[in-house]
Amino acid sequence: MAQIRRVTGARTGHAGTLDPFATGLLLVLSGTATKLASCLVGLDKRYRTEIDLTCRTSTGDPEGEVVERHAPPGEDELGKRLERLRGEIELPIPAASAVKIGGERAYRLARRGVEVEMPVRRSRVHALDVIAYTGELVTLDVLVSSGTYVRSLAIALGGHCASLRRTEVGPFSVDDAVAPKAFTAEWLLSEAHVLERVEAARAAPPT
């Protein structure tokens, strides 16, 4: 965000975070627009993820240690697993997350090898569509409610996220974004325009 601060000369902040291994869209707010952060909370998010179905890791992503290896499911079995994860679901939050357990971040406990029972989070999975399946690696287009851990979906499928890219946050798409180093003032959206798009997105059904 340093480039954005240099261009605008104003304080900046971001709405939401990305896992260290993930790429994609991050909404950045500048100047008086930082007050819009609360308006952006709760927006649905879309991801493109590759899930390795041959093993689980301690973190649900490629940064963890392999804790289990197994044969991947066939297409029919994969379809059944995916179907169980569509709609309203409840899944444990990954151990390597920032959720506090007993006043301490879960990922810090995980790094020390402390095993804890992770709380369950209710989410809505609007879309969980197969883009490709090699027999070991499945590529999915995922549209979920805010706060959903795609890593939890990967774990429930029997694997881990090999890659994760956020492509949409509400009405905002990575296709319309710019890399931080290439940012110029022309990329700024007005507060009114942002609010208009957010209100329209909240009124429309997920697609």
Q: Are residue 160 and residue 73 in the same domain, yes or no?
A: yes
Q: Are residue 136 and residue 102 in the same domain, yes or no?
A: yes
Q: Are residue 158 and residue 182 in the same domain, yes or no?
A: no
pLDDT tens for the 207 residues of the chain, in order: 788 888 888 889 888 888 888 999 999 999 999 999 989 988 999 999 999 999 999 889 998 889 999 999 999 999 999 999 999 999 988 877 777 888 888 778 777 777 777 788 999 999 999 999 999 999 999 999 999 999 999 999 999 999 999 999 999 999 999 998 899 989 999 999 999 999 999 888 887
The per-residue b/e assignment along 97-128, b for 16 or more CB within 10 angstroms, e otherwise, is: beeebeeeebeebbeeeeeeebeebebebbeb
53 lies in some domain: yes
173 lies in some domain: no
Q: Are residue 59 and residue 100 in the same domain, yes or no?
A: yes
CB 170 within 8 A of CB 40: yes
**pLDDT value at position 103?**
83
199 lies in some domain: yes
Q: Are residue 8 and residue 77 in the same domain, yes or no?
A: no
107 lies in some domain: yes
CB 14 within 8 A of CB 27: yes
Q: Are residue 197 and residue 95 in the same domain, yes or no?
A: no
Q: What is the CATH number of the domain that holds 152?
A: 3.30.2350.10
Q: Are residue 159 and residue 86 in the same domain, yes or no?
A: yes
Quick check: is 61 catalytic? no
Q: Are residue 6 and residue 87 in the same domain, yes or no?
A: no
* pLDDT tens digits for range 128-154: 999 999 999 999 999 999 999 999 999
Domain span holding position 50: 45-168
Q: Are residue 131 and residue 150 in the same domain, yes or no?
A: yes
Q: Are residue 187 and residue 135 in the same domain, yes or no?
A: no
Q: Are residue 184 and residue 104 in the same domain, yes or no?
A: no
Q: Are residue 75 and residue 98 in the same domain, yes or no?
A: yes
58 lies in some domain: yes
Which own/partner contact pairs does 127-133 have at CB distance under 8 Å and 24+ positions apart?
127/46, 127/86, 127/206, 128/82, 128/85, 128/86, 128/153, 130/78, 130/82, 131/48, 133/75, 133/78
164 lies in some domain: yes
Q: Count of domains in the chain?
A: 2
